[in-house]
Chains A and B, each alone.
Chain A
């Protein structure tokens, strides 16, 4: 019974004398898996744009050269890990972005309940410099009178300024 439960012994394949193991099929399969993972990483990369903080690099293997089967396996595993990690990160980010979108709606409905809250485009996963900021109307007077409003910025500053005054 103990022999049957010995998992390591079961997984160990004893080479049959006179039979050569052709690695080519395994290597071809690994290369196909790598191609598929690269496609999925490419799609994920586009989905994450313009968010920052994602790591896409998978260490190189000193190429261009022919990788051993072990190296191909490790590369496949590294790509898979990177894909999983970035998928989870994107999932977390989109959850927070969704909360921020909801918060913008609440800010618009009741600015006084969200004093000084500022949410930028980056916080909702969109490009650009636009932001929503709850500020008092008329400065100090608005603060004292509890006149709050959401101020929406007009976007990114112009690269060359507004130009000369007319």
Chain B
């Protein structure tokens, strides 16, 4: 049994930290082992589907961690009933499709980690990042991933040393999404006010463990 991988905080630009003191990223690294869903993960998804009922989906927003993300969405100018929080989107997909769909090892790991902790976890290709990830406001005329769609100014984005690689709780630049050739993945959990550190740690360790297992 391997030890839990070390976690490290991402940087936060002062203007973001000033407004949202408890907003932050927590990062860890994991070996990338892409490919198809493992049979035991498929079984785990099936079990989780059976346990996730419509009643749970309705009361989800009253649970402390999902509620914390809804609050952050409101405070950051996003309507959580229009653009769902990650855990609520998973709940809606579960009800729509009748179960959690396996979508490959990386996506499965992120899904299970988010589902079990309600903390959103993202994955980036470590080799395509320029330094550590953090949170900052986008600059006027900036493009997603450096050459993607143009971003509105002053949006909160996940960025590396040179460019914005994802809009917070929004889309991610194609260039940094893990592919079959990816060898190392950076797992990122977004922490907001009201989310206990233990939930964030659990989310990252759970995702990392699933990625390691799948090899």
Interface residues of A (CB under 8 A from B): 24, 27, 31, 34-35, 38-39, 42-43, 45-46, 49, 56-67, 71-72, 75, 79
Contacts and interface: CB of A to CB of B under 8 A. Distances in A.
Contacts of B19: 27, 66
A38 B155 contact: no
B204 to A, nearest CB: 21
The CB with the most chain A CB atoms within 10 A, among B16, B18, B71, is that of B71
Contact of A35 (B59, B71, B76, B169): B71
A100 to B, nearest CB: 23
B58 A49 contact: yes
A65 B58 CA distance: 28
Contact of A64 (B59, B81, B167): B167
B58 A63 contact: no
Given A27-B19, A57-B81, A62-B152, A67 B71 contact: no
Interface string B140-156: 00000000000010111
B61 interface: yes
Given A35-B71, A56-B81, A60-B82, A65 B61 contact: no
B6 interface: no
Given A35-B71, A38-B70, A62-B152, A67 B77 contact: yes
Interface of B: 15-16, 18-19, 58-59, 61-62, 67, 70-71, 73-79, 81-83, 137, 152, 154-156, 167-170, 194
Nearest to A39: B67
Contact of A65 (B74, B76, B82): B76
Given A63-B77, A67-B77, 5 more contacts: A31-B75, A35-B194, A39-B67, A46-B59, A49-B58
Contacts of A45: 58, 61
Contacts of B154: 65-66
A133 B152 CA distance: 58
Contacts of A24: 18
A66 B73 CA distance: 11
5 contacts: A34-B75, A49-B58, A64-B169, A65-B152, A75-B77
A67 B58 contact: no
B50 to A, nearest CB: 17
A60 B156 CA distance: 15
Contacts of A58: 74, 79, 81
A45 B57 CA distance: 12
Contacts of A63: 73, 76-78, 155-156
A66 B156 contact: yes
Contacts of B156: 63-66
A76 B138 CA distance: 25
B77 A64 contact: yes
Nearest to B18: A24
B83 A60 contact: yes
Given A27-B19, A66-B137, A42 B67 contact: yes
A65 B59 contact: no
Contact of A61 (B18, B70, B77, B194): B77
B76 A64 contact: yes
B62 A42 contact: yes
Nearest to B194: A35
